[in-house]
Amino acid sequence: MEFEKRRRSSSDKKKRSIWKRLLGLVLLILIGAAVALYLNHRGYEAKNPNDTTVTMVTIKSSDSAKEIGQQLEKKGIIRGANYFANYTKKYGAKSLVAGTYPLSPVQDISQIYQELTEGAGAEPVLSDGYTFISNNKTADQTASTIADAAGVSKSALLSAYSDSALQAKAKMLYPQLFLNAKSNLTLYDLVYPGIYKFKKAKSADDLVLTLLKHTNQTLKPYYAQLQQNKMPASTAILLAENGGKTEFDRRLAFIKKIASYSQDLQSQYGILPSISIAQAIHESNWDDSALSSKYNNYYGVKTDDTTAGKSVVLQTQEVVNGQTVTKNARFAVYDSYKDSMKAHAKTLVNGNSWNANQFADVLAAKNYQDAAQALSTDGYATDPNYPKLIIQIIQNWNLSQYDK
């Protein structure tokens, strides 16, 4: 009898032990499922609510949702490509529109998806508390948004941007921001574009100084190069939404690459180096066009030569009767960028077959302003804004330094 009791007791203990293990296993499974559910949900949230860095991301019409997600993950904007792919699968990949977008780790997957459905020119879709400042907008266009976010009046903020006393104070605090600055500079010109999380400001003046403090901190990696090349801080600021420091370095390297040869051409043909460089920049989009990067044609030179290896047919945009139209045209192919630059110089000097003095005004110009205007007057470009664009490039990058 005693033995039977001990046997039943031992059996009960084993059963209880089995049940405990089963309950423990179930509990672990439930905890694991809860953790997995949490992590999965977290994957759709903003990667870093404190990282307001803005990265420009280009989406092509041929990109799949998976490829877009991989790009976003690689650029550090989202936690994982699969989260974007899954979200897009649920809400529709066909809604995504090709274009270039400013995106940030402060955005969650739903906000990024919404932005990518709005098309080119879309601004970041943000949660409450975040404010986006774009360098494509004027001070007046952004004043209401910034003022409301920081708790100041719009009129006070606009007045602060142009206040001479505040500018003097800012110049003392952040002198490098004002090196080589244009005479008509306003403090808004020194506001670095991006996403901000504003606190309530004491005053409009205090808000502007806070904005400039951020710009000064952001531009520290640029200052040595800006000072060396006597360029204004605004040159770096203009690239905030177009590649930042990486793009700044690439563009500066392109200038350095062709500057010396442009001076050689000046001694041979009399073309101002600033004009040669600025036109190469504008026509080749900083050596980022297929025509320049693949065929060494920096100036969009057309040709009738159909000899193999001497030309290529590509699409181009031209202004006809005030309208921009897309056409197919045959362009010259060069063995090197120097050949392209020399051909450009010869064209300006020798003119066309029907008018040897076609570009006489460009050659006669003593400064880049007159030369840029003459490019339009003499019929080099069909775009009426061409001289203004060339002058802006020269001034922003201080290309006139190569004319001396």
Name the band, by pLDDT with cuts 50, 70 and 90, for residue 20: low
Per CATH, is 244-403 categorized as 1.10.530.10? yes
Q: 106-120, 152-166, 321-335: which range is least confident on average? A: 321-335
pLDDT at site 39: 47
Whether the CB-CB separation of 274 and 400 falls below 8 Å is answered with yes
The pLDDT of residue 81 is above 70 = yes
Element (H, E) at 11: helix 2-43
What backbone phi and psi angles, to 5 degrees, belong to 96? -70, 140
Across the range 6-27, mean pLDDT stands at 62
* Nearest Cα to Cα of residue 263 among 276, 246, 249, 281: 276
In the block, which residue shows the tokens 């300006």? 348
Domain 55-116: state its class: alpha beta
pLDDT at site 15: 61
Whether the CB-CB separation of 402 and 274 falls below 8 Å is answered with yes
The pLDDT of residue 35 is above 70 = no
pLDDT at site 325: 77
Q: 313-317, 333-337, 377-381: which range is least confident on average? A: 313-317
Q: pLDDT for 55-80, tens place per residue?
A: 889 999 899 999 999 999 999 999 99
What backbone phi and psi angles, to 5 degrees, belong to 4? -60, -40
Helix axes 273-284, 386-396, angle to 10 degrees: 110
Across the range 176-193, mean pLDDT stands at 93
* Nearest Cα to Cα of residue 109 among 57, 160, 58, 73: 73
The larger pLDDT score, comparing residue 323 to residue 295, is at 295
The pLDDT of residue 41 is above 80 = no
Arithmetic mean of pLDDT over the chain:
89
Name the band, by pLDDT with cuts 50, 70 and 90, for residue 16: low
Across the range 381-403, mean pLDDT stands at 93
pLDDT at site 303: 87
H-type helices in 92-232, by residue range?
109-116, 139-150, 154-161, 164-173, 204-219, 223-228
The larger pLDDT score, comparing residue 1 to residue 217, is at 217
| Alpha-carbon distances, residue 65 vs 51, 68, 108, 121, 210 (angstroms) | 24, 5, 16, 20, 39
Name the band, by pLDDT with cuts 50, 70 and 90, for residue 10: low
The pLDDT of residue 29 is above 80 = no
What backbone phi and psi angles, to 5 degrees, belong to 369? -65, -50
H-type helices in 193-336, by residue range?
204-219, 223-228, 233-237, 244-269, 273-284, 290-295
pLDDT at site 36: 52
Across the range 177-183, mean pLDDT stands at 91
Q: pLDDT for 239-283, tens place per residue?
A: 988 888 999 999 999 999 999 999 999 999 999 999 999 999 999
pLDDT at site 211: 96
Give the SS3 label for residue 300: coil
Q: pLDDT for 317-370, tens place per residue?
A: 776 777 777 888 889 999 999 999 999 999 999 988 788 999 999 999 999 999
pLDDT at site 308: 76
Name the band, by pLDDT with cuts 50, 70 and 90, for residue 33: low
Which sequence spans correspond to the domains of the chain?
Answer: 1-43, 55-116, 131-237, 244-403
| Alpha-carbon distances, residue 305 vs 137, 316, 327, 341, 364 (angstroms) | 44, 18, 18, 18, 30
Dist CA 153 CA 124 (whole Å)? 24
